[in-house]
Structure 1
Amino acid sequence: MIKEEIYKSRRESFLRRMKKESAALFFSAPQKVRSNDTEYPYRQDSDFYYLTGFKEDNSVLLLIKGKKTTKEILFVQKKDETLELWTGKRLGETEAKKRFSVDKVYTSKRFEAKLKKSLLNKKRVYLDIFSEDKRVLQVKELVKELSKSRSAKYTPKEFLHARDISQAMRLKKTSQEIELIKKALSITKEAHHRAMKMKKAGIREYELQAMFEYEFKKNGAYSDAYTTIVAGGNRGNTLHYVQNSEVLKRGELILIDAGCEYEMYASDITRTIPVSGKFTKSQKEVYEAVLKTQLLVIDAIRPGIKKSELQETARKSLCEALIKLGILKGDVKTLVKENRDKKYFPHGIGHWMGIDVHDQCPYKDEKGEEITLEEGMVLTVEPGLYLQQDDKEVPKRYRGIAIRIEDDILVTKEGCENLSFDIAKTVQEIESLFLQSL
């Protein structure tokens, strides 16, 4: 668990980055309706959680920076016994004051009045300027109303995107964050290893998906970090296949992209395994080409490297493999320049990961230059080759094969650490796990 002093230090860091005579607002995620009067399971807004550690809805964080002083204010849902009968206990104003190291705690009903007072004599407001949340629109209307005030020295005339600061802060993980990611990965490992051991021929993809969700919850994970992909055979060539409804057939591969979320921190792992427990010769050839590429990319990760350099390493390696497999012809440099490889490797080599499985952290700095890797950053590495069943340009023995291998990598002082190193991924490891279950 992350301690309250860490959240406090994050708020202080955010305040230091704000311009003077400003206010910043972060809203909890709203409840989302699934249909009629039923709602999706609640999941807190990532930036709000990053700065507060608070998981309740109907809450607001207000940060104020004057010329010389700062203030932190939290608004929370009031205690209401009738409401709690239906939706569960609330922390409430009194307990929130004890728990959070903020200057003031008020009930959410006092938000508008307190905000109106706080924005007087402020020059700008930081918020999510792209949000359509009704509370963001409420703030904008309030600023418009204040602009007509004759008593204030000045009122806000500028809106700045608060997430530009918070998401840049989230790029580098603390030791506590890394431990939570490792915990998520330890749970995810158990699920992937169980899948490798299972007899899978004849079951439907959703049965394997259900096993993953069971393993996640059984081991204390709140939920999956994203919708699990279980794609048998040619369906693995659909990158975000989530129907998970077809029967798994002997002789096919299964591309499984599944990771859990533990205490709001994600894991993101892809493994491609044989239904029957053993790779065919053709499957093995493609698999080992993708694995070789992944290991090359991971080996290249260190501070100072750019993600685009990792992408080029992956493209060249996979292009060499495509030539060797007889799928492409020509020299690597020309094929990459002409983007011929993108037909078979259409996506990026990876993405930031943390509170969100695709952490919305910047890839470019304020000058528009690509960000270089630094110690503490966490990213995925996920090369793949996707060979469609109906692609006549692909030798027949490889058609319908889809392989992706994905691990979660921490950038260290001198190189990197594969946080998911102990999840089986070599041909021998995967086949051995299946044999152990017989």
Structure 2
Amino acid sequence: MSAQFWEPPRSPRAAFEARRARLWAELGPNGLGSICLPSGFARPRNFAHNVYPFRAESHFLYFTGRHLEGALFVVEDGVERLYLLERDPEEALWSGPPPTYEELSEELGLEVRPLGDFEPRAGMATLPPQDEETALWLSALLDRTVEAQSGPDLVDGDEALAQVMVDLRLRHDAWALEQLRFAAGESGKAHEQGMRVARRASREYQVRAQMEARLGESALRPAYGSIVTMCGEVLHQPDSSGLLGPGLLLCDVGGETPEGFAGDVTRTWPSSGRFSGVEREAYEAVLRVQLDAIAGARAGVSYGELHERACLLMAGELVGLGLLEGAPRDLFDSGALSVFFPHGLGHLLGLDVHDMEDLGDRAGYGPEAQRADHPAFRALRLNRVLEPDMVVTIEPGLYFSPLLLRRAKEDRTIARQIRWAEVERFRSVRGIRIEDDVLVTDEDPVILSASAPKSVAEIEACLGA
């Protein structure tokens, strides 16, 4: 039987022209005469010529769709230009010939010039890159200091440009939604692949390799460091070298399209092929919370309120499991719930897996909302009213973290609300997270990652139990 492969969608030139037109329409009303956005540079691994795969800055990608190293997208005087760092002709031997300026201009619908032609305007606004090398390069070009990763602290024109970008990227256009559907759908299929091979594997990395290979079959690369671990109580466990033994395997794996749009999907399944009694009880409790939250992810709903509702439902579920005792609101207010559910319900999704978090809380919180100093809200990445064409993740979890449980014992109020004998009964569960990518619409929410098996019956069937 021949192998099947999947082609990613490719946005037409008109998509980027439309985005650039929207950008230009927003510059004048926001007091911006000229702006530039850098693409960045490949970052060395252990010496200069051994680099990580290049991935352009997301704001640059939004308007060009191309990973062009050492490039600058500029808008000034109503003209859009792309400036490119000229490559050494000798590089063609090793990397192949680059596209000509004429070829790029035709492909992108932009005037393309060598970087040596660039002349910065006084007051030209920009957004800071994530790496120091690009920040120093951009500082030299603009003759002013641009600090890497300074997006949360921007002022003047840079701050105005950041808000323009949030307004443009918060609600996805049709081309971006096509990319996100593909990324989420193929990421879900990677989880299905992981389940199908899990019982034949002996190490976590073998499952991870199969999942990432499935992404590669669709021209996707990991959108973030994949998490494949039996240590589910460690929220972002980077290591995947452990043995597969009795218990649950937590897999947080998502792919990124060639244009940079991300999928972010998590499933948790029994490495044995069948959920044990306590594993099934805990898993179905988390699943009920997740399904309720997905159903509530509608236009006009505050994501912060959706998160709080999920927390209260989770508190009720943990009372039902015997892990906590008390009223859900009291368990939420005291912080007892946060011992077992210590993170937010989800986040924005787009060109960044945590979309536009390079700009601080501007996208996730908006101009009015502020982060609350409450155990259940400190790690909440999204707290704004949902609008049609936003894409968010919904990812409640249940964890038995030795660190958090130890701290809970030191808090007299919380210690009394936890039933410690039941904690021991469930401790082998370690960690469960269930995450889907959800499109907000004027009607019912759409689960973009529905291709990943999720119910107990679906998972066990896929595992071959």
| TM-score over 0.5 for the pair | yes
Residue in structure 1 matching 2:18, options 2, 6, 9? 9
C-alpha separation between the residues in 1 aligned to 2:103 and 2:185?
Answer: 33
Residue in structure 1 matching 2:344, options 338, 348, 352? 348
The equivalent residue for 1:224 is 222
Residue in structure 2 matching 1:24, options 32, 35, 40? 35
Percentage of matched positions with identical amino acids: 29
Question: Structure 2: any 5+ residue segments left out of the alignment?
Answer: 1-9, 147-154, 358-362, 371-382, 406-419
The equivalent residue for 1:50 is 62
TM-score by length of 1: 0.87
Does the alignment pair 1:363 with 2:370?
A: no
The equivalent residue for 1:374 is 387
TM-score by length of 2: 0.82
Could you report, residue by residue, the CA deviation over 1:72-94 in whole angstroms, capped at 9, with x for unpaired residues?
Answer: 11112446531222223312322
Please identify, of 311-320 and 17-26, the stretch whose mean Cα deviation from structure 2 is larger. 17-26
The equivalent residue for 1:88 is 96
Does the alignment pair 1:76 with 2:88?
A: no
The equivalent residue for 1:309 is 305
Contact 2:85 2:114 (8 Å CA) reproduced: yes
The equivalent residue for 2:137 is 135
Secondary structure of 2:446's partner?
strand
Please identify, of 415-424 and 199-208, the stretch whose mean Cα deviation from structure 2 is larger. 199-208
Does the alignment pair 1:245 with 2:254?
A: no
C-alpha separation between the residues in 2 aligned to 1:315 and 1:351?
Answer: 15
Secondary structure of 2:249's partner?
strand
C-alpha separation between the residues in 1 aligned to 2:32 and 2:250?
Answer: 52
Secondary structure of 2:364's partner?
coil
CA positional deviation for 1:375: 0.5
Does the alignment pair 1:397 with 2:425?
A: yes
Letter in 2 for 1:41: P
CA positional deviation for 1:379: 0.4
CA positional deviation for 1:435: 2.2
C-alpha separation between the residues in 2 aligned to 1:374 and 1:100?
Answer: 30
Cα distance change on mapping 1:286 and 1:158 into 2, 3 Å: closer
Cα distance change on mapping 1:21 and 1:169 into 2, 3 Å: closer
The equivalent residue for 1:275 is 271
Q: RMSD of the alignment, in Å? A: 2.3
Could you report, residue by residue, the CA deviation over 1:3-42 in whole angstroms, capped at 9, with x for unpaired residues?
Answer: 1122112122122222456210100121201111211111
Letter in 1 for 2:61: Y
Question: What is the total number of aligned residue pairs between the two structures?
Answer: 407
C-alpha separation between the residues in 1 aligned to 2:341 and 2:350?
Answer: 25
C-alpha separation between the residues in 2 aligned to 1:281 and 1:14?
Answer: 55
Contact 1:125 1:158 (8 Å CA) reproduced: no
The equivalent residue for 1:149 is none
C-alpha separation between the residues in 1 aligned to 2:128 and 2:388?
Answer: 30
The equivalent residue for 2:375 is none
C-alpha separation between the residues in 2 aligned to 1:51 and 1:33?
Answer: 26
The equivalent residue for 1:62 is 74
Secondary structure of 1:413's partner?
coil
In the TM superposition, what are the counterparts of 1:171-250 in structure 2 within 5 Å? 171-200=170-199, 203-221=202-220, 223-232=221-230, 235-249=231-245
Cα distance change on mapping 1:159 and 1:270 into 2, 3 Å: same
CA positional deviation for 1:218: 2.3
Please identify, of 209-218 and 278-287, the stretch whose mean Cα deviation from structure 2 is larger. 209-218
Secondary structure of 2:279's partner?
helix
Question: Structure 1: any 5+ residue segments left out of the alignment?
Answer: 145-156
Secondary structure of 1:55's partner?
coil
C-alpha separation between the residues in 2 aligned to 1:241 and 1:52?
Answer: 34
Letter in 2 for 1:135: W
CA positional deviation for 1:138: 1.5
CA positional deviation for 1:256: 0.6
The equivalent residue for 1:150 is none
CA positional deviation for 1:366: 3.3
Could you report, residue by residue, the CA deviation over 1:92-134 in whole angstroms, capped at 9, with x for unpaired residues?
Answer: 32222222223x32112222xx33xxx1xx5x32112576411
Contact 2:199 2:463 (8 Å CA) reproduced: no
Secondary structure of 1:236's partner?
coil
